[in-house]
Chains A and B, each alone.
Chain A
Amino acid sequence: EAAVTQSPRSKVAVTGGKVTLSCHQTNNHDYMYWYRQDTGHGLRLIHYSYVADSTEKGDIPDGYKASRPSQENFSLILELASLSQTAVYFCASSDPTGGNYAEQFFGPGTRLTVL
């Protein structure tokens, strides 16, 4: 049973359009994360959240917004999609009681293509 799911799994968007990527977890974890993966790069942190109704900026937040309406759900919003945002996006969750040693549990990813 997949504990972190993402929707859609792939999406083609037009430049300047709005895109919302959704993530749902059943791990009962407080911490959730959004990453992007580009060829030749590791995963880079966009936004994260420690608790519902609160989000934090990660290392590359420009052009992205995040929303955490509940413990289970975490969305990534591209208000004005751009070509440079073509990438694979991963959501993850972790249990804060593990501290810095906590494993992150990843969803299967969303492949976003902006044309």
Chain B
Amino acid sequence: AQSVTQPDARVTVSEGASLQLRCKYSYSGTPYLFWYVQYPRQGLQLLLKYYSGDPVVQGVNGFEAEFSKSNSSFHLRKASVHWSDSAVYFCALTGNYKYVFGAGTRLKVIA
């Protein structure tokens, strides 16, 4: 069965600090992996996606993610967070055109 686990329900970081949000997946084949962000009172928006190639993939607004097959992980990173990055971040994978989402990590950026 395919699944996505985001072990951190909430993360708080200071503005300007670096960020890593963790994502672990379970999938029998080669996964298509995604990170989405949900700002308050909005739908989800795509940050980045990965299927193959360079394991580090760049996304919007300075985000990047690194795929690791050996660790079954797809962690999201940002070198320097801004207060506007406060949101809920979802990791997801697809198979058969259906998405499986993690529970999300709520990021709070403080001054």
Contacts and interface: CB of A to CB of B under 8 A. Distances in A.
B102 to A, nearest CB: 5
A107 B46 CA distance: 13
Interface string A4-28: 1000000000000000000000000
A108 B41 CA distance: 7
Secondary structure class of chain B's binding surface, majority of residues: strand
B97 A100 contact: yes
Interface residues of B, number: 26
Contacts of A101: 32, 49, 51, 94
Contacts of B42: 108-109
B43 A100 contact: no
Interface string A57-87: 0110000000000000000000000000000
Interface of B: 4, 6, 9, 32, 34, 41-46, 49, 51, 90, 92, 94-104
Main SS of the interface on chain A? mixed
